Structure 1
Amino acid sequence: MSFSSLGLSPSLLKTLAAQKYEYPYPIQLKAIPLILKKADVLGIAKTGSGKTASYVLPILRNLQRSRDTKNRHVNVLVLVPTRELAEQVKNVFQKFGSVIPERIKTLAVYGGVSINPQMKALQGVNIVVATPGRLLELVESNAVHLSEISTLVLDEADRMLAMGFKEEMDRIYALLPARRQNLLFSATLNEAVSQEKELLLNNPEVIKIEDDDDKVDLIEQVAYYASDEKKGPLLRYIIKSKELKQVLVFVSSAFKADSVVSKLSNNGIRATAIHGKKSQGARTKALERFKSGQIEVLVTTDLLARGVDIDVLPCVINYELPRSPKDYIHRIGRTGRAESEGIAISLVSPDEAHHFKVIQKKMGKWVDRIDGDSINLHGY
């Protein structure tokens, strides 16, 4: 089935064709007609499955039909957990919204940067993509009003709840009109998301795209078992011997990320870090440099495990294992996307061996094992 059968406007269909979107993903195929009909929707689908476009396209179509609001009274609110995802969602709205005849203005607002430019930029905005804390600051400053919201979207709802935004989200809900469309999208359906569904959604249409993450068919996985002190040289050995040019390396903390980057740089590997202690400007610049190929290695915490789109990522390396099997799936799911192959490498210390066995059991797939301690790492 093609996009033309889903009820989108001619201008949106023209843009989809120009952007080489040939066929809708399963989540888009099911969600777009429902959202166009103003139904409440709960969408469960993995990261990289096309969730963002599945709500952006019908929201823009609905705004084309009706968009009469007062200044600073926005029509659509999208709540997201991170600054990076806010920018990404805004960019998708702008990519499709810039070519339709109606002028629809989208703005992303988040903390970590000055609030004053955001306050000024909210003039005439129709769609706000926001992290909860900064949105409340803007509301308290009378820079934006939520009383005329027609559609509320929670994107990466499970992650927002896990990150402790529940109280702020409840404060935001209290400011919204009772009659509105609610769209809740999540990679997982856990107890917290189920509770949020009961609170927010009115007779929702539930879409659950079967999770292929457990199969990870397109991802080649391998694990190097080595002592902690050998992980640094082993990482450099893997990158250099395999001539890897675009690698996302996951670590457990901001301190470790900076430490790994320092050692990579000292050994002639272009690397930078992204984590929560970096300024938004530094995080944005680092991601842009990585995407453009100016640097070979991006070291990050689980900040980039989900939500941020990197079109083609050939390799992911777990320098340290995540706490849960689900987080492991989200991490390695950054590669092997859009039907392209990818490789996921894990460096497993003796202390992590049992945990990695649990991860493999939950995943339902056993990972090829290499004895990292037996590799000659002299010179790395």
Structure 2
Amino acid sequence: MPFNSLGLSPALLKTLEQEGFTAPTPIQELAIPAILSKKDVLGIAKTGSGKTASYVLPLLTNLQGSTGLKNRHADVLVLVPTRELAEQVKDVFKVFTAALPQPVKVVAVYGGVSINPQMMALQGVNVLVATPGRLLELAGSNSVHLSGIQTLVLDEADKMLNLGFKDELDKIIALLPEKRQNILLSATLSDDIEHIHQIMLRDPVVVKIAAEETSLDLIRQVAYLISEDKKGPFLRYLINHHEMKQVLVFASSVHHVDAIVNKLRKNNIDARAIHSKKSQGARTEALAQFKSGKLRVLVATDLMARGIDIDSLPFVINYDLPRSPKDYIHRIGRTGRADAAGDAISLVSINELHHFEVIQKKMGRQVELIRDLPVV
């Protein structure tokens, strides 16, 4: 089914063609007509499936011809869990607003940066992309009004709930008009998501795109059994021995991330950290350098994973294993995308061995575990 059969604005169809989008993904094909009809939607699909465009395109179409509300009264509210995702969603909106005959102002707001420029930017806002905490700050100071929201989008709802945003979400929903369109998007359908679905959504169109088993087929997985004290030297060995030019390393905590980066730099390996304690400017710059190939190693916590989307990332290394098998799959899924093969390497200590067995069982795949390591 082509995009031009879905009912989108002609200006958006032209931009889609210019950007090289030839056909909608499964979630776009099903969600776009439902959102255009102003129905509530529950969309469950993995990261990288085109969820963002599945709501951006129909919402922009619906906003064309809208008379708009008073100043600082947004029409559309998109809630996201992290600053990186807020910027990512804003960028997708901006790609498609550029050629629209009726201007649509898109603003992203999040913590970790000065609030004053965000307050000023909210004049004339149509689409507001926000993290929950900063949105409540702005609403509390009357910098933005939520009483006229026509559509609420919860993007990465599973991650928001996992990060403890439930209380903030309840407060925000209480500020919204009762009559509105609701769109809930998530990578998983957990009990928490089911609960929010029951409270928020009215007779929703449910779009559930099963994760493709073949998505792991392009990822070459291997693990090394190694003591904690040797992980650092072995990481440096892997990067140099395999001449890795672009590698994403995951660690379990902010402290581990910073320690890994410091050791890599001391050994003349260009690396930067991205985690919640870094300023937004530092995070944005590190991510931009990494995506462009100017930065060799990016070391991140799981919190940052959903803002890192690179079509042809060759290497992912798990310095520490994540807490859940789902997070493991999400981490290694940063590579092996867009039909390009990739390598996922895990450094597994004796204490992590049982947990790694659980991960493999949940994943339904056996990963080669190498016990005889080269001398480093």
TM-score range, shorter chain: over 0.9
Structure 1 runs, 4 residues or longer, greater than 6 Å off: none
Q: Trace 1:1-380 onto structure 2 (pairs within 5 A).
A: 1-212=1-212, 216-371=216-371, 373-377=372-376
**How far, CA to CA, are the matches of 2:130 and 2:304 in structure 1?**
18
Task: Report if the CA contact (8 A) 1:249-1:316 is conserved.
Answer: yes
Task: Report if the CA contact (8 A) 1:39-1:204 is conserved.
Answer: yes
**How far, CA to CA, are the matches of 1:36 and 1:196 in structure 2?**
22
**How far, CA to CA, are the matches of 2:104 and 2:324 in structure 1?**
41
1:338-369 Cα offsets, whole Å, 9 max, x none, are 22221111011111111101100100000122
Matching residue's letter, 1:170: D
Matching residue's letter, 2:5: S
**How far, CA to CA, are the matches of 1:352 and 1:209 in structure 2?**
32
Give the paired residue count: 376
**How far, CA to CA, are the matches of 1:207 and 1:314 in structure 2?**
31
**How far, CA to CA, are the matches of 1:117 and 1:215 in structure 2?**
41
Matching residue's letter, 2:333: G
Name the SS for the 1:306 alignment partner: helix
**How far, CA to CA, are the matches of 2:53 and 2:276 in structure 1?**
27
Task: Report if the CA contact (8 A) 2:287-2:308 is conserved.
Answer: no
**How far, CA to CA, are the matches of 1:287 and 1:213 in structure 2?**
29
Task: Report if the CA contact (8 A) 2:325-2:358 is conserved.
Answer: yes
**How far, CA to CA, are the matches of 2:157 and 2:119 in structure 1?**
26
Cα drift, residue 307 of structure 1: 4.2
**How far, CA to CA, are the matches of 1:187 and 1:307 in structure 2?**
14
1:45-64 Cα offsets, whole Å, 9 max, x none, are 00111100111000000001
Task: Report if the CA contact (8 A) 1:45-1:211 is conserved.
Answer: yes
**How far, CA to CA, are the matches of 1:108 and 1:26 in structure 2?**
27
**How far, CA to CA, are the matches of 2:234 and 2:331 in structure 1?**
20
Task: Report if the CA contact (8 A) 2:87-2:108 is conserved.
Answer: yes
**How far, CA to CA, are the matches of 1:289 and 1:75 in structure 2?**
34
**How far, CA to CA, are the matches of 2:61 and 2:67 in structure 1?**
11
Task: Report if the CA contact (8 A) 2:215-2:336 is conserved.
Answer: no
Cα drift, residue 67 of structure 1: 4.0
Matching residue's letter, 2:119: M
Unaligned runs of 5+ in 1: none
1:266-321 Cα offsets, whole Å, 9 max, x none, are 11111000011111111111111111222100001002222443333111110000
Matching residue's letter, 1:146: L
Matching residue's letter, 2:43: G
1:244-287 Cα offsets, whole Å, 9 max, x none, are 11111000011110110011111111100001111111111111
Matching residue's letter, 1:14: K
Task: Report if the CA contact (8 A) 2:224-2:373 is conserved.
Answer: no
250-259 vs 304-313, which deviates more? Answer: 304-313
1:167-198 Cα offsets, whole Å, 9 max, x none, are 11111111111111000000000000000001
TM-score normalised by length of structure 1: 0.97
1:137-195 Cα offsets, whole Å, 9 max, x none, are 10111110011100000000011011111111111111111111000000000000000
**How far, CA to CA, are the matches of 1:106 and 1:213 in structure 2?**
36
**How far, CA to CA, are the matches of 1:65 and 1:218 in structure 2?**
45
**How far, CA to CA, are the matches of 2:363 and 2:186 in structure 1?**
19
**How far, CA to CA, are the matches of 2:133 and 2:39 in structure 1?**
28
The alignment yields a C-alpha RMSD, in angstroms, of: 1.2
Cα drift, residue 213 of structure 1: 5.8
Unaligned runs of 5+ in 2: none
